[in-house]
């Protein structure tokens, strides 16, 4: 996919599509080559790459830096960049400028969490020609207010609120919406009701597309295994094994071999 029209077409054609997070150039290049339809420079970069305990530590500078790296790695990819914590709460003008920086760094679109209190920001971004992806359900930037990483939309009232927010996002002109950690039946209903693309993470298999955090897919963190994610390889084990072999080779003077020494 290289634009928001492709999202709409995939939804019309009921063709499920796959997104992954990406934070660096070489991974972005490989994921694009694998056919991943869009890359998300998620604010999860603060945790995955920078080792912070939550996404509230992502800054505008961090998001710009990683968006530019991903763009350099995957010049043809559709790239969505997260608006970091509080960047949509500093007034419409600051939010539009922040999103503009992300687009100048190479993003095709921006994603922002929640809706209450920044509807005007969504409308202004869309009105400024910036494609917007919403993010409802578990919104990690509000994790302290939500009381942890819990499933959202479980009560009838909460489900109703989420459906209303999804409708509002569509009315405001968002082209897509991430639904994180909500019951599968609710995600299915929102996907059917809405004409914008619904991308699930921990939301069952009936959404228009799926997104995963790339380090979860690669199994890079041995101690972190979210229930809704799937580990497609043991990246931690592979890195550990390769690094141990290298250490052994250096200590035994097996590396470098003569053929690895520049003449």
Active site amino acids: 180
Q: Is residue 218 a contact point for ligand KIV (CB under 6 A)? A: no
Q: Is residue 21 a contact point for ligand KIV (CB under 6 A)? A: yes
Of the ranges 24-32, 42-50, 182-190, 223-231, which one interacts with ligand KIV (CB under 6 A)? Answer: 42-50
Q: Is residue 37 a contact point for ligand KIV (CB under 6 A)? A: no
The 10 Å CB-count burial string (b at 16+, else e) for 232-260 is: eeebbeeeeeeeeeeeeeeeeeeeeeeee
CB of 211 or CB of 220, closer to ligand KIV:
211
Q: Is residue 44 a contact point for ligand KIV (CB under 6 A)? A: yes
Q: Is residue 190 a contact point for ligand KIV (CB under 6 A)? A: no
CB of 53 or CB of 258, closer to ligand KIV:
53
Q: Is residue 211 a contact point for ligand KIV (CB under 6 A)? A: yes
First to last CA, the chain: 45
Q: How far is the CB of 85 from ligand KIV (least distance, A)?
A: 11
Report the C-alpha gap between 44 and 66 in whole angstroms.
11
Q: Is residue 201 a contact point for ligand KIV (CB under 6 A)? A: yes
Q: Scan residues 77-106 and list those touching ligand KIV (CB under 6 A).
A: 82
**What tokens were used for 251?**
């200590």
Considering just the CA atoms, what is the radius of gyration of the chain in Å? 20
φ, ψ of residue 230 to 5 degrees: the values are: -130, 130
CA neighbours closer than 13 Å in the CB half-sphere of residue 31:
33
CB of 124 or CB of 215, closer to ligand KIV:
215
Pairing mode, strands 197-201 and 176-180: parallel
20: how many CB neighbours lie within 10 A of its CB? 24
Q: How far is the CB of 181 from ligand KIV (least distance, A)?
A: 9
Q: Which residue of 39, 159, 213, 220 would you call a contact of ligand KIV, by CB under 6 A?
A: 213
Distances (CA, A) of 178 to 50, 81, 137, 211: 23, 13, 8, 8
Q: Which residue of 74, 80, 178, 190 would you call a contact of ligand KIV, by CB under 6 A?
A: 178
Q: How far is the CB of 80 from ligand KIV (least distance, A)?
A: 9
**What tokens were used for 174?**
């968002």
Q: How far is the CB of 224 from ligand KIV (least distance, A)?
A: 13
Positions that interact with ligand KIV (CB under 6 A): 21, 42-44, 82, 178, 180, 201, 211, 213
């Amino acid at each position: 996919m290289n634009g928001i029209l492709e999202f709409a077409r995939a939804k019309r054609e009921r063709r499920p599509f796959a997104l992954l997070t990406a934070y660096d150039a070489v991974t972005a290049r490989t994921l694009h080559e694998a056919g991943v339809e869009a890359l998300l420079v998620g604010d999860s970069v603060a945790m995955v790459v920078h080792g912070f305990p939550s996404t509230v530590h992502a800054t505008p500078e961090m998001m710009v830096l990683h968006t530019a790296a991903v763009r350099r790695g995957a010049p043809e990819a559709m790239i969505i960049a997260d608006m970091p914590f509080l960047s949509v709460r500093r007034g419409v003008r600051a939010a539009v400028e922040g999103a503009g920086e992300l687009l100048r760094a190479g993003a095709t679109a921006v994603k922002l969490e929640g809706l209450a209190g920044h509807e005007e920001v969504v409308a202004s971004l869309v009105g400024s020609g910036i494609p917007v992806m919403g993010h409802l359900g578990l919104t990690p930037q509000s994790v302290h207010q939500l009381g942890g990483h819990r499933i959202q939309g479980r009560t009838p009232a909460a489900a109703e609120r989420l459906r209303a927010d999804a409708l509002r996002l569509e009315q405001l002109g968002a082209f897509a919406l991430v639904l994180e950690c909500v019951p599968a039946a609710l995600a299915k209903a929102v996907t059917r009701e809405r004409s914008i693309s619904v991308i699930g993470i921990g939301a069952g298999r009936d959404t228009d597309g799926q997104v995963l955090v790339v380090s979860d897919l690669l199994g890079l963190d041995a101690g972190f295994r979210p229930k809704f994610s799937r580990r497609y390889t043991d990246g931690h084990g592979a890195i550990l094994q390769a690094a141990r072999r290298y250490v052994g080779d250096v200590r035994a003077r097996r590396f470098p071999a003569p053929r690895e020494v520049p003449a």
